[in-house]
């Protein structure tokens, strides 16, 4: 199908983008890499009066260190995230998860921030961002503010961003020395996750000193598997300890049924994939 007619603006700064969105109100859509928005426009599931393309905003690209944080620009492509040495060293879980996003063509065009703000609960990057306690830096008419990942994802395809705000960058606490793994179950190659588990673990002296576990597509938003994390703390990462911890994977989840899986199957997958992810990350 052909999208409905809309106006198009390509600002060159964050401030210009915010002013444009403020003037347009709720009739505008933000275009990042376009891998999610363009199909929606073609199917006329969205009918914006204005599309604001952030492709020319250079300050929203790139990856840098700032103290104990790794800062990833919202317009940084998945491909660039994958190739960056800082991400590999300090945020291994994000590097591993990004490798599973769609296919090489999409990873060259799709953006880190675009995937996050799209807020699809089946999207791969939401769970690791939540698990790693990232903060979203957003810009609006009143300036910039930080939003914790726990508060950023509100519902299906819904975030706490205001209509006149843009995600500028994501601040990820460094997890240097942590092991990580992302376990994803999908029906066909390069498809959305039926269920995914993002895990990063710090083992010291043969015991789990810290553990972070995020679940993909087990509710309307990504879910932190805190029961699993608590069960692992202070334990040696043995097969039995991991099995007992993984048994708590469905605590606090609200999985739905669709053409890919019913609730019971998703809950089964969550436990199995959590066990696999923890075993790989802890080995």
Where do the domains of the chain lie, and which CATH numbers do they carry?
A: 7-53 (3.30.43.10), 58-173 (3.30.465.10), 179-282 (3.30.390.50)
Which residue, 238, 239, 246, 153, is CA-closest to 197? 246
From first to last of its 283 residues, the chain has per-residue pLDDT tens of 789 999 999 999 999 999 999 999 889 999 999 999 999 999 999 999 999 999 999 999 999 999 999 999 999 999 999 999 999 999 999 999 999 999 999 999 999 999 999 999 999 999 999 999 999 999 999 999 999 999 999 999 999 999 999 999 999 999 999 999 999 999 876 678 999 999 999 999 999 999 999 999 999 999 999 999 999 999 999 999 999 999 999 999 999 999 999 999 999 999 999 999 999 999 8
pLDDT for 25 equals 86
Cβ proximity of 133 and 91 under 8 Å: no
- Return the pLDDT at 187: 83
pTM listed for this prediction: 0.96
The rounded distance, in Å, linking the Cα atoms of 258 and 120 is 15
Token digits of residue 237: 């990462």
User: Sign of torsion, CA 66 152 123 55?
Assistant: negative
pLDDT for 190: 63
């Amino acid at each position: 199908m052909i999208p409905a007619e809309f106006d198009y603006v390509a600002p060159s700064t964050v401030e210009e983008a915010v002013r444009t969105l403020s003037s347009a109100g709720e009739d505008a859509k933000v275009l990042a890499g376009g891998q999610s928005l363009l199909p929606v426009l073609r199917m006329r599931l969205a009918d914006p009066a204005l599309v604001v393309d952030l492709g020319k905003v250079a300050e929203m690209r790139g990856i840098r260190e700032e103290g104990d944080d790794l800062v990833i620009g919202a317009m940084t492509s998945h491909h660039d995230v994958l190739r960056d040495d800082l991400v590999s060293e300090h945020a291994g879980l994000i590097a591993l998860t990004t490798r599973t996003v769609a296919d090489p063509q999409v990873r060259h065009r799709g953006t880190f921030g675009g995937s996050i703000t799209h807020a699809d609960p089946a999207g791969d990057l939401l769970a690791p961002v939540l698990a790693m306690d990232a903060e979203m830096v957003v810009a609006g008419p009143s300036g910039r503010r930080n939003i914790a990942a726990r508060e950023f994802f509100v519902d299906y395809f819904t975030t706490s961003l205001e209509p006149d705000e843009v995600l500028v960058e994501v601040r990820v606490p460094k997890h240097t020395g942590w092991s990580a793994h992302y376990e994803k179950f999908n029906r066909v190659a390069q498809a959305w996750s039926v269920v995914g588990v993002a895990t990063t673990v710090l083992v010291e002296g043969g015991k789990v000193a810290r553990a972070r576990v995020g679940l993909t597509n087990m509710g309307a938003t990504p879910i932190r598997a805190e029961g699993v994390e608590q069960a692992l703390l202070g334990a040696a990462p043995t097969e039995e300890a991991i099995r007992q911890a993984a048994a708590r994977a469905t605590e606090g989840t609200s999985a739905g049924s669709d053409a890919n899986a019913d609730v019971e199957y998703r809950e089964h997958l969550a436990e199995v994939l959590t066990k696999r992810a923890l075993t790989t990350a802890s080995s």
